[in-house]
Amino acid sequence: MFRQNRLVGLMRPASRDWSMTKLNTKTTTAYVAGGMLYNDGTDNVPATTTTQGNVCGICQEAKAVGDTGTQDLHVLVPNSPNSTFYCDNVSGTLTKAMEGDQFDFASDVQIAQAASTYDTVTLVKFITSSSGIFKLNTTYGVEN
């Protein structure tokens, strides 16, 4: 069982189907506890506005940009495509009618309600105008 991250404004599991693992990081890249990570083909880095695939999980430890060398970080990874997570930091305004709509990341700790170029996440449940429960979208090799 994992200890759920309760920090407001960051990603955290909404369902219990997440597992803790250690993943490699890039040298001199800053990581935020509660930020979403993806694999850029060389290592695991914070999600960005252009992240579409290879999203791997929610970082559980902070790593300062001044830290040198690669370090392993604890990351919560989804066990299934139906694993859900909270995001209390949505840019734009969510509504109940948007449940089922797809959005992009604005950063590793923010979802962009007005962006749907890559459709990386789906709003599963509306909570407030700036928060909801989401799931990661998988393309199974077919790009959006």
Sheet of 121-128, strands arranged across: 11-13, 84-87, 131-136, 121-128, 102-107, 110-112, 90-91
Tell me: do 31 and 66 sit in the same domain. yes
Judged by average pLDDT, the poorest of 37-41, 91-95, 135-139 is: 135-139
143 domain-assigned: no
Tell me: do 64 and 94 sit in the same domain. no
Tell me: do 40 and 73 sit in the same domain. yes
1 domain-assigned: no
Tell me: do 73 and 116 sit in the same domain. no
How many residues does the structure list for the chain? 144
Tell me: do 53 and 92 sit in the same domain. no
The pLDDT assigned to 144 comes to 44
Say what the pTM is: 0.86
Domain-ending residue, one of 33, 62, 78: 78
Amino acid type, 38:
Y
Residue 5 has pLDDT above 90, yes or no: no
Tell me: do 89 and 68 sit in the same domain. no
**Which residue range(s) make up the domain with 120?**
84-136
8 domain-assigned: no
State residue 32 phi and psi, 5-degree precision: -115, 130
d(CA 101, CA 95): 10
Residue 129 has pLDDT above 50, yes or no: yes
The string of pLDDT tens digits covering residues 38-83 is: 988 888 899 888 877 789 899 998 888 766 556 788 999 999 999 9
Domain count, the chain: 2
Give the number of other Cβ atoms within 10 Å of residue 17's Cβ. Answer: 12
119 domain-assigned: yes
51 domain-assigned: yes
Tell me: do 67 and 103 sit in the same domain. no
13 domain-assigned: no
5 domain-assigned: no
Tell me: do 64 and 113 sit in the same domain. no
Tell me: do 66 and 34 sit in the same domain. yes
- Residue, of 59 and 3, whose pLDDT is higher: 59
The pLDDT assigned to 142 comes to 45
The pLDDT assigned to 14 comes to 96
